[in-house]
Amino acid sequence: MELSVKMDCAGFDSSVDVVPADTITPDGDNALCTLNGGRPVYGNGTVTFSYAWSTDISFRPVSSYMECSVAP
């Protein structure tokens, strides 16, 4: 699983509320956003959200922390 996923979101804004609200959160530096409130994103999992803005945003992954577990 990946924790604290940060994405490139320079210039991100939305003319409507992002749904769900904590799915993508600008970090205040106008460059990075936190995905899923920093909560885990599991392998092959998806995170979806809706927003509206006049320019394209890349949402390119920049960093995260990986947590591994060993099956019993």
What is the chain's alpha carbon radius of gyration, rounded to the nearest angstrom? Answer: 13
Strand partners, 3: 65
Above 90 in pLDDT, residue 60?
yes
Q: Is the dihedral of CA 58, 59, 64, 69 positive or negative?
A: negative
Cis status of the peptide bond prior to 20, with omega within 30 of 0 = yes
Residue 12 binned pLDDT confidence (cut-offs 50, 70, 90): confident
Above 90 in pLDDT, residue 69?
no
The CA-atom distances, in angstroms, between 33 and each of 37, 69, 70, 71, 72 are 9, 27, 30, 32, 35
Q: For the chain, what is the mean pLDDT?
A: 88
Above 70 in pLDDT, residue 71?
no
- Average of per-residue pLDDT across 14-30: 86
Each domain of the chain, given as residue ranges in start order, spans 2-66
